[in-house]
Homo-oligomer: A and B are copies of this chain.
């Protein structure tokens, strides 16, 4: 059961698979970095700092390193790539809610809709 916290789920929708290896960084808008790491085999960035207790009200920014992800796969891209570091900025007013953030992306765009309370 999830109470509070942020879950970041990343899918490479150009290939229909979770984005294992994608580098992701989560920070507050005041600059405090909560965590940085790579997406695991289930498509999630799993880190204790994203659990309920680590989350306070305020603004957050997630950075997805999309350009490096596709270069590592050998995808032909312009230089620089259309998408390099992709920021996603949002605000948490109620820390009792869970924020599920599904990031569906290709080398040329993405969709980010909050996945429900």
Contacting residues of chain A (94-112) with chain B, CB-CB under 8 angstroms = 94, 102, 104, 106-112
Stretch in contact with the other chain, from A30-38, A47-55, A75-83: A75-83
- Specify which chain B residues have a CB less than 8 angstroms from the CB of A79 in the assembled complex: 93
The answer to whether A111 touches B104, judged by C-beta atoms less than 8 angstroms apart, is yes
CB nearest to A58 among chain B residues: B80
- Specify which chain B residues have a CB less than 8 angstroms from the CB of A91 in the assembled complex: 78, 80-84
The answer to whether B94 touches A83, judged by C-beta atoms less than 8 angstroms apart, is no
| Complex copy number for this chain | 4
CB within 8 Å for A108 and B102 given contacts A91-B82, A93-B80 = no
- Judged by a CB distance under 8 angstroms, whether A14 is at the interface is yes
- Judged by a CB distance under 8 angstroms, whether A85 is at the interface is yes
- Judged by a CB distance under 8 angstroms, whether A17 is at the interface is yes
In Å, the complex CA distance between A92 and B92 comes to 32
**9 cross-chain pairs, A with B, having the tightest CB-CB distances, nearest first:** A109-B113, A16-B108, A14-B14, A78-B93, A18-B116, A111-B111, A80-B91, A13-B113, A108-B114
Q: Which residues of A contact B (CB under 8 A)?
A: 9, 11, 13-18, 43, 59, 78-87, 89-94, 102, 104, 106-117
